Structures are given as C-alpha cells and as structure tokens.
Amino acid sequence: MALIRDARGPQAAEALADAVQRLCAGRLVAMPTETVYGLAADADRPEAVARIFAAKGRPSDHPLIVHIAHATSTERMASLTHYAAGVPPFAQRLMDAFWPGPLTLILPRRAGVAESAAGGQASIGLRCPAHPVAQALLAACRRAGILGLAAPSANRFGRVSPTQAAHVAAELGTLSDTELLILDGGACPVGIESTIIDCTRDAPVLLRPGMLEKAALERIAGVPLADRDAHAPRAPGTLASHYAPEAEVRLMEASELQTALDLLGQQSRGLVVYHRSPLRIVNPHVRLCRMPDSAETAARELFATLRSLDDGTTDRIWVERPPADPAWDGIRDRLQRAAAR
C-alpha cells in the first residue's frame, strides 16, 4: 500500500526529505495544495511524468499543471523562463497579485522543455501553490535541482478530486509504498481546483473557473477575460464529464427538486439530496445533506461531501443547482461536469 507520512508534525522534515529523494529518483509523491492533493513528479523527466499518467489512467495528451516554488523573485523568474517562452504583461500582473495561490496560467512553452507534462502542446500550465507543505516541498526540490513538479489531482482520471490524504489512499492506495508516498498536510482549505487562464494569445481567456472571481481577475489583468473558444489549448478539468462519483449526479433547481421528490413515491432507496432550500420530505428513505450557504465553505467541503455521499449504498445524488452569483462559478462548474456523464 502507498505510504502516508505526516508533513506537519515533528517528523515533517524527515517526510519532506524522503519525498525529495523519491522525486529525484523519478518516483511519485502526493502533495497537499490549497486546492486539492496533487500527484507529483519531476516535470522535466518524461519517465517520471509517464508514471503519473499510468497511475491515474489519464490520457497522455491531457496536459498537466507544473507547480513552481514561490522563492525569491529572481528564483521564480528562473523557473518561469525555464518552462515559458514568454510572459505577457497581463499574465505578469496576475502572477504578482495571485501567486502563490489557486491560479494556473497557460503560457507559451519553451521548446524542448516538459513536453510530456504539457501533453505535447506548445503551451504549458504553471502554478505557484500557497499551501505551506507544497511550498516547502517545492523549495527543497529546487535546492535538489528540480525546477517544477507536474501534479494533477491525485485520483483516478475523471473521478472526484481528493482534498484529504485519506482520499488519495482510497484512490491510489493499491500502489506500493515504494511507488507512492503521500504527504499528509491536512484538509485542503480551498477545496476545488485552481482557476485556469490561457495567456498564449493577445488577451486572457478563462478556461476553468475556480474560487477567484472573474471581476477581480479582470481588474488586475487590466483587460476583460474572454470565454473559452475553439482555439483554446487543452487544459486540465475542462472535459464535459469530470469530477464524477460512482453514483449518478443530477442537478436541479429547488422547485424541480421538490416536484421530483413529490413524484418519487416509495422509489427512493439509494437516493441522497444535497440542497440549500427547505424541502418537504414524506419518504423516510430519502437521505438529506445540507449544502452550506457560503460559497467558500461549499467549495471547501464539496469533494469530501460527494465522497461521503457516494458510500456504496447510494446510486443517485440529486443536487440543488448553486446560485447564479459569480462566487459560485467554480462550484457550479464542478457539479455540472459531475452530472454530465
């Protein structure tokens, strides 16, 4: 089974040293970030990156995000120029404002660098995570000569992302203790994946919403964010069906949800309802789970909640559609993809 080591307590330094040694040997480490846990390998070693794709069952042309250390501005620029062929001014403004944090920027890739991690594309996704364990690991890797860690979510491809070390073990625990080390950094405080912005063209394009609101991003960028189009590069988490539990997910407005429950009668075994609005329930077999009113709390709990509801006794999860408020855009995106299969 995969090995779990606490990266916060008295043994943290030893756990990090073990992680760096494994990464230098081309092996895999699951690391916590503020968004979700990532399955990390040296982004510049194709054979190490191939282990990520194999462990996840992920298509090799589906690009990975490369994580870099915050470090000093000079060191960060060295990492950027190692991977990126150029950084537009609006992208630099976004980095300065939101790094370290839950923002991924797609930039032109420097030829001959991290081609496997980029899924063969001429662009590459870069992020500087805010989680202290991730930053400690990235800084230690940099000292060991590793400039970036390719790290998609540490789960099977297309499934619910992990926000706790135990989730990673449940997803990838069949890997041996020599194949995978899981660094336990506690529950991820943001809870859904980063916002992704394409910066390979003259103007930024929003490819995947997260918990950074569009208006704030546009204010910093100084230009509007265009919507995804046919010319956008492939990016993580943008497939129509993604983030899906085993149980069928169905999104409904509150009124539709109540009507469906009224019509259901006794055919309710295996049904869980994840909702905010008050509901009239007449069938005792319906399980209810309350969705938080705060978007920040809902995001932090979303994937853990979906995992807990998908407990083997559930075959249907009915979810009340999140509010139209921009603060809920990232949550709405994840639930729509979970319901799309």
Q: What is the pLDDT of residues 86-126, one digit of tens each?
A: 999 999 999 999 999 999 999 999 999 999 999 999 999 99
| Rounded Cα gap, residues 131 and 125, in angstroms | 18
- The alpha helices in the chain, defined as continuous H runs, are 12-24, 46-56, 73-83, 89-98, 132-143, 165-172, 214-221, 254-264, 295-309, 329-338
**Can you give the pLDDT at residue 215?**
97
DSSP annotation string for 262-285: HHHTT--TTEEEEESS------TT
| Rounded Cα gap, residues 92 and 68, in angstroms | 15
The structure tokens 């996704």 sit at 125
| Contacts (Cβ under 8 Å, ≥6 apart) of 241 | 158, 337, 340, 341
Q: Is 16 exposed, middle or buried (0-12, 13-18, 19+ CB in 10 A)?
A: buried
Cis geometry, peptide bond prior to residue 100 (ω within 30 degrees of 0): yes
**Can you give the pLDDT at residue 289?**
95
**Can you give the pLDDT at residue 282?**
74
Res 267 pLDDT > 80: no
| Rounded Cα gap, residues 4 and 131, in angstroms | 18
Q: What is the pLDDT of residues 177-233, one digit of tens each?
A: 999 999 999 999 999 999 999 999 999 999 999 999 999 999 999 999 999 888 888
**Can you give the pLDDT at residue 305?**
97
| Contacts (Cβ under 8 Å, ≥6 apart) of 296 | 211, 327
8-state DSSP, 34: S
Query: Which has the minimum average pLDDT: 24-38, 72-86, 161-175, 299-313?
Result: 72-86
- 89-98 and 214-221 helices cross at what angle (nearest 10)? 120
Q: 161, 102 in Cβ contact below 8 A?
A: no
Average of per-residue pLDDT across 58-75 = 89
Single pTM value for the model = 0.96
**Can you give the pLDDT at residue 75?**
76
Phi and psi, residue 14, nearest 5°: -65, -40
**Can you give the pLDDT at residue 266?**
67
Tell me which of 189 and 74 has the higher pLDDT: 189
| Rounded Cα gap, residues 223 and 167, in angstroms | 39
Average of per-residue pLDDT across 314-319 = 95
**Can you give the pLDDT at residue 245?**
93
Taking all residues of the chain, what is their mean pLDDT, rounded to a whole number? 94
Domains, the chain, with CATH or none: 3-227 (3.90.870.10), 248-338 (3.40.50)
Average of per-residue pLDDT across 275-284 = 88
Average of per-residue pLDDT across 10-25 = 97
**Can you give the pLDDT at residue 238?**
84
Q: 19, 133 in Cβ contact below 8 A?
A: no
Tokens (6 digits) for 77: 């620029």
**Can you give the pLDDT at residue 264?**
81
Return the closest-CA partner of residue 238 out of 62, 35, 55: 62
Average of per-residue pLDDT across 287-306 = 97
| Rounded Cα gap, residues 130 and 100, in angstroms | 5
